[in-house]
Structures are given as C-alpha cells and as structure tokens.
Structure 1
Amino acid sequence: MDDPHDGVLLTQRRVPFPSSISEQARQALQRMVGADGVPINASYSMPANGDREGWIALQSAVQRQYAATVAKKVMPKTASVETVMVDQTVIHVATPDTMDREGFAYVDLHGGALVFGGGDACRASAQVEAQKHGVRCYGVDYRMPPDHPYPAALDDCLTAYRYVLERHLPYNVIIGGRSAGGNLAVAMLLRGREEGLPMPSALVLLSPELDLTESGDSFKVNQMVDVVLPGSLMSCNRLYAGEADLAHPYLSPLFGELDGLPPTFLQTGTRDLFLSNAVRMHRKLRRANIPVELHVFEAMPHGGFSGEAPEDIELIQDVKLFVRSHWPS
C-alpha cells in the first residue's frame, strides 16, 4: 500500500496557459489540447514490445509526420546533401549554400524517443543545421529498434564521429542532440572517452532524454502538463534497451562520470516532461567543473512551441551564439 505521506495529493484541476508567454506560444499550446482539456498526443498508444509489425507501422506514420514538420524549416535556398554509408551507418552530409567557416563541422543527432525521426526528417534536419550555422553538418541516421536495439544507435554515432574526426580537427567540431539525440550525444562521448577519442569543442543538448529510468521529479509533476510529451516513454525505452540495464550510463548518461566533457549548452522548459533531466545534468556538470549554460523557457513544453514563436526564435539565436563562441576564431 502506498505511503500516504510520500507525496502531494492533487485534486483534478485545469492548469491554464500563462499570460507570461507570447501570444504565438499560447496559441501553439492551445492547438495541442482538445476541448476536454486533454493533450491530443495523450491519445496515442505504443504497441507491445513484441509487436514488431505494430512498431514498424507506427514508425512509418511518425516518420511522415516528422519529415513534413522539418521540411517546413528548409528554405528554398538551402544546403545540398550527400548521403554516405560508412560500414552500417547512414550519414547525411549537408553543405550550406554559403560556407561561413571552412573546416568546421556540426554533428546533428535527431530526436524521436530512440525509435522515430530518421530518414527524410534526419536528412532535412541536417540541411537546417548546416544553414543555421554556416558549416558542414553531419546528420547521423542511426539505426533504431525494433530491428536494431541498443547498442546499434550508439555504435552508429561513434562510427559517424570517427568519420567526422578523420575530416575535421576535434576543436572545430560541435555535437548537437535533441531529445533522444541528446542521450546519444552524451553516451557517445562517454564511450568515446573510454576508447581514447578526443572531445569536440562543445556540446548542445536540447531537452535531452538523459535518464531512461525516468526517475526525475518532472516525469510526475509535468505529466499531462507537457502537451507535446504528456506521458512516459518507458515502452520506447525498453524497446530500445532490449536486455540491457536502463540505468547503465550508455543508456542513461545522466548516471555517468562526466569529467572531461566539453562546454555544454542545456535547454528545457518549465512544462517539459524532461525538465529534471536538464536540471540534474546541469548540477552534475557543474560539480565536474564543466562550463555549462542552462536555458529554461517559461511554459515551454518538450521540443518548443510552434517553431515560430518568439521564444523559439530566441532559443535558435542563443544556440547560434553559443556555437560561434566555442569555435576557434
């Protein structure tokens, strides 16, 4: 029986969208909630772990949605892309129409709960990042379950990082990861450190999924308040991990030894289900004497607002400033 003193009992209540954010952000939040006040995304259900066909079908549907969303961000005058295969790893190499910095590179690790987000969406994302930073971007189209559980994605990220290091000096490289990509970015550097690989110049982690055990406070406090990610991703986490321990640092890098990691940019929002991931990572990096910035946006859910709200644009500018400040001049 649950301990009646272990926690706060909440009665049913409606949490309003605050007036402290832009009108565009409020409208974005409103669009993601039904008339009953329940987030639209809460109606989605995940297949059972053994249901391969169910996961493949869901992946296909989500891939189309992701690709359409990212494609809207790709400008008519944009980066060209060449897709290369290195061993079993697919890498989309995007070159901006105007190269601001020769010899520099941005490695983009896409989000998607470690199960979704590859293919056309990954390719388009590499184009967006290349144009944003004015450098060559390497989008890692890592393998995913159900056919390729852990450590396939992490292996692919290491393969891609080695490929980049063969072409760029490590201090000219910055690694960026969104959500699940943030998990892989840190896990890749932890494993790369063990294998003697040099660290990049900096690390950008946007609402990173750093704890697959979902032990942080916000996994309960922001449940259903995060209209983008209203509930647990544990079914995806277990599908990705297979038989591996979710608490292992290569799966939950929040639990790893962080000494030697590069300067880090962390972003989250007060309504982000993964808020605790960023907050705890910030404290751990500080204790390891790693230079770190933590950017927390008011009422922002997982992944931001519409992408065009003033807060989203401000975040993009913050990231660009951080990236430019950590490349050699």
Structure 2
Amino acid sequence: MDEQSFGVRLPARVLPAPRSISAEARAALNRLVGADGMPINAKYPMPDPEDHEGWVRIKAAVDAHYAASIKGLAGTLRASVETVRVGNTLVHVATPETAIVTGAAYLDLHGGALVFGGGEACRVGAQMQADLHGVCCYGVDYRTPPEHPYPAALDDTLAAYGHVLERHAPSNVVIGGRSAGGNLAVAMLLRAREAGLPMPAGLVLLSPEVDLTESGDSFEVNRLVDLMLPLPLRAANLLYASGADLSDPALSPLFGDLSGLPPTLLQSGTRDLLLSNTVRMHRALRKAGVPAELHVFEAMPHGGFLGDTPEDLELSGELVRFVCTCLRGG
C-alpha cells in the first residue's frame, strides 16, 4: 500500500470548546465557528501562487481588516513611535514611557504568512511590544510578495538587525517573531552568524512558521481544529519562495544548523496548526545545545485567543519574565 494512503480513519465528530480552559477562552473559540459548525476563517481560501493580482487584492483586504481591528487600541498605547527607513524597508521605532532596562531593544518581526501584517498593524505592534516589555522596540515592516518575494523579507530583517546593533550592545537585544516572523527571526540569525555578526541575548518564537514544507503532524491533526488558522499555508509559502526550494534552511530554518543561537522561548497551543513546527524546533534547539523552553497552552489556536483571556495574560507574563531575564544576563 502507498505510504501516503495509509492512516487513521476518524469518524465524523464535533469538537466542543473544552471545559479545561477559561470561560473567556471558550467564548473566543466559539466566536470563530459559524452556524454550520465550520471555522469561519476556512471560508476564505488563498489564491493560487501564480495569481498575483488575486494576492494584491487579498492583501489590501487583510490589511484593511487588521487596521480596523487595532483601531480601538490607539487610546491605550503609551509608547511613542517614529518610522525610519533602513535600506529597502521601514522600521517603526517605539519608545516606552519608562524604560525598564536602560539601553535595551526588542526587534519585533510580525506574523502574517510572510505576505500580510505590514503597515499600520506592524507599527501598532511595535508600540504594544514596547509597552509590554518596557524597552525600545523596532518593528520591521519587511517587504512582502507578490511584489517582493524571497529573499526580500530576509534581507530587510538582516538590515534591521544591523541597524539595531549599531545602537545597542548585542547583550541588550532580544529578537521576537510570531508565526512568519518566527521564520524570519531564525533564518536571519543563521545568516547573521555566517556574516560574523554577534548573537542577541535572547530569542522569542511564538508559534513559528519554521517549516514551509509543512511536513509536521499537526498540519493534519489540527487541520480545521485550529479555528484561527484552519488550513495549511502552502499557497502563501510557494508565493513567498518564488521557485526556491521550500526545504532550504533559508526558507525553512528548522532544517538548518542551529548551534550557537541564543536562549529561546517557544510558545504554541494544543489546537495550533503550527504546533509541530514549534515542538520540533524546540527539540532541534535542544539537540544543538541551545537553552530552550517550550510553553504549550491548552486548546489555544494559532496566535492565541486574541484577547485579555487568563491564558493570554499568562503568556504575556511568561514573555516579560523571559525577556527581562535575558536582558539582565540571566
């Protein structure tokens, strides 16, 4: 029998939001399910990789949605922000009202399937990280396809890291990336190591998209179970790669030599489509001798519950602790 045709046949069933999580988290999951029981986000398929006009349209729609969703945060953010150009990209530099660690910096790489999440969402994200950690945050508004496929985003991220190192000692820098940003964070550090640049004090990877081949178990097990990211991202991955080999460590850093990377915190959830990416990256880092801690939250989908649930707040507390520990030298 063909290896790919053999597997476990699952009966039709309904997966309720479990009672093992907070009421707020259960409500968040329930809001992401339609009346027909299907994930609402599964009703918006991505265009084919060759359909560049379709990608331009969907990028505009997603960016408008992101801008609307964060509009209400404007009055709650305290950090000031200015935008500077670094090479071919923009970097949003957010300064907290009060610095917790003097001279420290957080380099923030946003998510969005390597296609979405730039612009105003990136700018506000930098302010949010500056407020959370009490350090200067550099939000990299890296270039994205279809206009700018690989390696544009990786080039931009490396240029931004060099910009930060010109202003901060590496021992005062932590790099953080969520989802696609986690991919760029690791791939950039592998390239930085080859260029002889120093490593930062720490690395934060939130459900990192470190395997664009999507070979992990959770891409099948959590398909449609992850209400935030119910379907694989292969179309976006191929668009980003623009013909390059998806298994190349520059695109899938899970497969690279991870030795010498800084202490790392990784986060995922049991309903995260990218759970396998996260746990495999944790094991790969450990095998490479890198201190790494893994936090997997009950029933959490990709990106968290997107609110002030007890689980989201607990995760924020872990992030603050880890970043502060790295910046204070352990």
- Corresponding position of 2:29: 29
> What letter is aligned with 2:280?
R
Q: Contact 1:74–1:127 at 8 Å: present in 2 too?
A: no
CA separation of 1:71 and 1:130: change in aligned 2, threshold 3 A: farther
Give CA deviations for 1:21-53 in whole Å, capped at 9, x if unaligned.
000000000000011110000000112222222
Residue 164 of structure 2 corresponds to which residue in structure 1? Answer: 164
Structure-2 change in CA distance of 1:204 and 1:71 (3 Å): farther
Match of 1:258 in 2: 258
Return 55-64 or 213-222, whichever deviates more.
Answer: 55-64
Does structure 2 conserve the Cα–Cα contact (< 8 Å) formed by 1:71 and 1:124?
Answer: no
Larger displacement relative to structure 2 (45-54 or 155-164): 45-54
Distance 1:186 1:99, change over 3 A: same
**1:307, distance to aligned residue in structure 2 (A):** 1.9
Q: CA deviation at 1:226?
A: 0.3
User: Corresponding residue for 2:301?
Assistant: 301
Gaps of 5+ in 2: none
**Alpha carbons of structure 1 residues 264 and 11: separation in structure 2 relative to 1, 3 Å:** same
RMSD over aligned Cα atoms: 1.4
Q: State whether residues 111 and 180 of structure 1, in contact with CA within 8 Å, keep that contact through their aligned partners in structure 2.
A: yes
> Structure 1's 74 and 201: CA in aligned 2 closer, same or farther, altered over 3 A?
farther
Q: Choose 203-212 or 77-86, whichever is displaced more.
A: 77-86
Distance 2:236 2:81 in 1: 30
Measured in 1, the distance between the counterparts of 2:173 and 2:127 equals: 17
Q: Is the 8 Å Cα contact of residues 73 and 128 (structure 1) preserved in structure 2?
A: no
- Residue matched to 1:238: 238
1:292 aligned onto 2:295: no
Q: Report the secondary structure of 2:220's partner residue.
A: helix
Distance in 2 between the 1:185 and 1:168 partners?
A: 18
TM-score (norm 2): 0.97
- Provide the rounded CA distance (Å) in 1 between the counterparts of 2:77 and 2:235: 40
- Larger deviation, residues 317-326 vs 96-105: 96-105
Structure-2 change in CA distance of 1:142 and 1:77 (3 Å): closer
User: What is the distance in 1 between the residues matched to 2:60 and 2:37?
Assistant: 28
Q: 2:78 matched to which residue of 1? A: 78
Q: Secondary structure at the match of 1:94?
A: strand
Does the Cα contact within 8 Å between 1:92 and 1:139 map onto a contact in 2?
yes
Aligned to 2:141: 141
Task: State the SS of the aligned residue for 1:326.
Answer: helix
Instruction: Determine the structure 1 residue equivalent to 2:62.
Output: 62
1:224 aligned residue:
224
Q: Write the distance in 1 (CA, Å) between the matches of 2:35 and 2:2.
A: 33
Q: CA deviation at 1:289?
A: 1.3
AA of the residue aligned to 1:274: L
Paired with 2:86 and 2:101, the residues of 1 have a C-alpha distance of: 25
- 2:184 aligns with 184
Whether the 8 Å contact between 2:42 and 2:224 is mirrored in structure 1 is yes
Pair 171,75 (structure 1): closer, same or farther in 2 beyond 3 Å: farther
The one-letter amino acid paired with 1:328 is R
Provide Cα deviations, 1:142-194, integer angstroms capped at 9, x if missing partner.
00000100000000000000000000000100000000000000000011111
Contact residue 77 and residue 127 of structure 2 kept, 8 A: no
Paired amino acid for 1:137: C
How far apart are 1:217 and its partner, in Å? Answer: 0.2
Confirm or deny: 8 A CA contact 1:222 1:230 kept in the other structure: yes
Query: In 1, distance between residues paired with 2:36 and 2:164?
Result: 49
Structure 2 CA distance for aligned equivalents of residues 71 and 320 of structure 1? 24
Equivalent residue for 1:209?
209
Q: In the TM superposition, what whole-angstrom CA distance separates every residue of 1:272-308 from its partner, at most 9, and x where no partner exists?
A: 0000001101111111111111000000000001321
Q: Deviations over 1:219-263 (max 9, x none)?
A: 000000000000110000000000110000010000001000000
Structure 1 residues 4 and 166, CA, compared in 2 at 3 Å: closer, same or farther?
closer
Alpha-carbon separation, structure 2, partners of 1:306 and 1:178: 13
Q: For residue 99 of structure 1, report the CA deviation from its aligned partner.
A: 1.9
**1:110-125 alignment runs, 5 A limit:** 110-125=110-125
